[in-house]
A and B are shown apart, each in its own frame.
Chain A
C-alpha cells in the first residue's frame, strides 16, 4: 500500500446539493486534501471519506454516478464550472477553484449530482437505434459496408449517451419535447449501416413526429460540448436532407420502399 502524498494543499469545491427528486436545493462548500493527478471523482471520494463542509458542519456524503472511469460509459457527466462534462476525465489541475459542481438539470435530478437519463434511452428505443437481423430462417450475411463510410460511421458510434449534448442544447429541457442531438445522430448511424438502412424510412418517420428533428434550433452547442468530438450538427444537417426527400415521398406518394 502506498501512503497518500501529503501536499499540504487543498481543493476547494462548491456543490449544488439536493436530497430528494424535485426537492429543495442548496450550495455547500467543501475542502479536500490535494493529491497530484486528481480528477473530480477523486475529490468527490475525498468528501465521501469525510463528509464535513468547509465551515465544519457535518453533512451527508455527496451522491454521484460513475462506472468506467475512462470516459467511455457516460455515467459520470455533471456540470463542472458551468460546462457539462465527465467528472472522470476532468482533472483538478486544469480547473479554476473553487470548483462548482452541479447536476445536469436538463434531466430529472435524482439526488445531488445524480440524474435520470431515461429520456435518452427511451429516445433510442423510439428511433429503433439498432440493426434488425432476426428472421424465421437464416438470413445470411448482410451487404458489405464501404470502408470510407465505415470510417466516419465509426465516429458516430463513439456516442456513450452521456447527456452532455442534451444539457448543452437550449432546446432540450424537461418542459420541451425535443428528442435532442445524441439520439438523432444515432438515426444517421443506423441509417448508414447497409442492413440498418433497410428500415431507414421507419427511423425517419419517428424523427419527423412531435419533438423530432425539426425542433433543432441550430445553436450548435452540442457539437461544441461533445466529449467524443462527434459531428452532431453534420448528422442533423444530413438528416434534414434525408427528411426533406422523405417528406416529398410522403406528400406525393410512394410504395414505402426504402430507395
Chain B
C-alpha cells in the first residue's frame, strides 16, 4: 500500500515538475472544476434521484429523459462534463491531501476540522465514486439497464446502503465546504466576518442537499 502510494506520488510529482511554475493555475483549475461542472453535476444528480421518493414509475420516467439524448452526444457530454473534470479533481486532490501533515491534535479549531474532513471525504469519495461508476455506468455499458430495480437491488444489501449513505453525505459535505474554500480561494470572501457568513450559508446548503440525497437513496429501500 505504502509503495503504491509513494509510486503514485512520484508519478504525480513528475507531472507537476513538467508543468513547472504553473502550480497556481493547476490549483485554481482544481478549485474551479470542483464547483463547475462537478459540483453542479452533483446537485443535478441528487435532484434527479430525489424523484424516486415519488415511486418507481416516477423515477423511471425522470431518468428516461436521458434516452432522448442521442447516444454519441451523451457520451461526449459525459466525458467533458463528468469524467475528465472528476478524474482531474480527484487525482490532483489526492496529491493535495497526501502532501498535508494534519495536526488536529494540536489545533482542534473548527476550520482545522473542516480542513481534515475535506481531505478525508475527498479520499473516500475517490474510492466511492470509482465503485459507484463500476456498479452502475460500467454495468450499463456491459448491457444492464439503469433503472429503479438496479438501485433497489444494490441497496437491498445493508452494507451497500450504509456505504452509499456515507458516500452521499461525504459528497454533499465535500461540495458545501469546497464552496466555502472556493469563495476564499478566488478572493470573493475576504474579511473574517464575510467568511463566517459563508460558513453558515454553505453549512445550510450541506444540510439541505444531504436531506435530498439521503431521502433519494432511502426511496430505493
A-to-B contact residues, CB < 8 Å: 82-83, 168, 170-171, 173, 175-176, 207-221, 224-225, 231, 233-234, 236-244, 247
The answer to whether B115 touches A217 (Cβ under 8 A) is: yes
Instruction: Determine which of B25, B107, B191 lies in contact with A221 in the assembled complex, contact meaning CB atoms within 8 Å.
Output: B107
Query: A168-B107, A221-B111, A233-B184 known; 19 other A-B pairs, CB under 8 Å?
Result: A170-B100, A171-B99, A173-B101, A175-B99, A208-B24, A209-B24, A210-B20, A214-B28, A217-B100, A218-B111, A218-B184, A219-B107, A225-B107, A231-B192, A233-B192, A237-B195, A240-B184, A241-B188, A243-B187
B71 near A: Cβ within 8 Å? no
What chain B residues lie within 8 Å of A214 (beta carbons)?
23-24, 27-28, 185
CB distance from A107 to the nearest CB of B (A): 13
Give the size of the chain B interface in residues (CB under 8 angstroms).
35
Bound: A23/B24 CA distance, A: 35
Instruction: Determine which of B24, B25, B106, B192 lies in contact with A234 in the assembled complex, contact meaning CB atoms within 8 Å.
Output: B192
B102 near A: Cβ within 8 Å? yes
B112 near A: Cβ within 8 Å? yes
CB distance from A85 to the nearest CB of B (A): 11
The answer to whether B24 touches A176 (Cβ under 8 A) is: no
Instruction: Determine which of B22, B100, B114, B184 lies in contact with A171 in the assembled complex, contact meaning CB atoms within 8 Å.
Output: B100
B-to-A contact residues, CB < 8 Å: 20-25, 27-28, 96, 99-103, 105-107, 109, 111-112, 114-116, 180-181, 184-192, 195
**Closest A residue to B104 using CB positions:** A170
CB distance from B20 to the nearest CB of A (A): 7
Bound: A214/B31 CA distance, A: 10
Residue contacts A-B, CB under 8 angstroms, 23 given: A82-B105, A82-B106, A171-B100, A173-B101, A175-B99, A210-B20, A211-B23, A214-B27, A219-B114, A219-B115, A219-B116, A220-B109, A221-B107, A221-B112, A224-B109, A233-B192, A237-B184, A237-B195, A240-B184, A242-B187, A244-B186, A244-B187, A247-B25
What chain B residues lie within 8 Å of A231 (beta carbons)?
192
Bound: A44/B208 CA distance, A: 54
Known contacts being A237-B187, A237-B195, A238-B190, is A221 close to B103, with CB within 8 Å?
A: yes
The answer to whether B184 touches A215 (Cβ under 8 A) is: no
